[in-house]
């Protein structure tokens, strides 16, 4: 089967009616039907909703091994092209994903704490405990400690 001209075998016409095939022979097959809010296509069946990329993989490649996720090698959630999809373990799916990277980038891009104090060399404390890692504002941290100690003294 040529991936630029997909076989319709195994997938209903209403699936293909929601897929835009590219002019580029290596491009993504983009789903433009209903999605889950994060860009992953969905198709409703009497038994419930199914993800479009999983349907495509199962119909055009074969069964997805139990417990495996389908990773988009092209990093495009709306893509249903089977050679852009790969079954991976849940752990590998998270490792490859953008969430850990984006969370770290969002935090490191912050220049001020929530109270508005500057994160600079003098005012930044780096925690490295098992329970809490990351940076915090020394001014806010000191205020929290003082407040806690005052409360503990009053209760004695």
Asked if residue 2 belongs to a domain, the reply is: no
Domain carrying residue 121: 110-154
Convert the pLDDT of each residue in 79-90 to its tens digit. Answer: 999 999 999 998
Q: How far apart are CA 119 and CA 105, in angstroms?
A: 15
Give the helix/strand (H/E) hosting 69. Answer: strand 69-72
Convert the pLDDT of each residue in 48-103 to its tens digit. Answer: 899 999 999 999 999 999 999 999 999 899 999 999 999 999 888 888 876 656 66
What pLDDT does residue 59 have? 93
Asked if residue 104 belongs to a domain, the reply is: no
92 in the same domain as 17: yes
What percentage of the chain has pLDDT greater than the value 90?
53
What pLDDT does residue 25 have? 85
User: Mean of the pLDDT values across residues 28-46?
Assistant: 92
Q: How far apart are CA 123 and CA 140, in angstroms?
A: 9
Asked if residue 5 belongs to a domain, the reply is: no
> Above 50 in pLDDT, residue 1?
no
In the chain, how many domains are there?
2
CB 112 within 8 A of CB 118: yes
72 in the same domain as 23: yes
pTM of the complete model: 0.61
Higher-scoring residue by pLDDT: 144, 2: 144
Asked if residue 8 belongs to a domain, the reply is: no
CB 79 within 8 A of CB 28: yes
- The whole-chain average pLDDT of the chain stands at 86
CB 111 within 8 A of CB 118: yes
Confidence of residue 130 (pLDDT cuts 50, 70, 90): low
CB 82 within 8 A of CB 3: yes
CB 7 within 8 A of CB 60: yes
Q: What's the Cα-to-Cα distance from 23 to each of 20, 73, 82, rounded to whole Å?
A: 10, 19, 17
Using alpha carbons only, give the angle 41, 31, 17 rounded to the nearest 5 degrees.
115
77 in the same domain as 20: yes
Higher-scoring residue by pLDDT: 133, 122: 122
Q: Which of 104-108, 125-129, 145-149, 150-154 has the highest mean pLDDT?
A: 145-149
């Amino acid at each position: 089967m040529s991936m630029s001209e997909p076989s319709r075998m195994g997938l209903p016409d209403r699936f293909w009616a929601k897929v835009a095939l590219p002019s580029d022979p290596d491009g993504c097959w983009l789903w433009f039907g209903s999605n889950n809010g994060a860009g992953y296509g969905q198709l409703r069946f009497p038994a419930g909703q199914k993800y479009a990329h999983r349907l495509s993989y199962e119909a055009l490649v074969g069964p997805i091994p139990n417990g495996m996720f389908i990773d988009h090698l092209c990093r495009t959630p709306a893509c249903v092209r089977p050679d852009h999809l790969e079954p991976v373990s849940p752990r590998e799916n998270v490792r490859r994903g953008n969430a850990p990277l984006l969370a770290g980038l969002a935090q490191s891009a912050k220049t001020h704490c929530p109270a508005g104090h500057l994160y600079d060399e003098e005012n930044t404390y780096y925690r490295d405990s098992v329970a809490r890692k990351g940076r915090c504002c020394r001014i806010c941290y000191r205020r929290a400690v003082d407040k806690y100690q005052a409360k503990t003294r009053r209760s004695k």
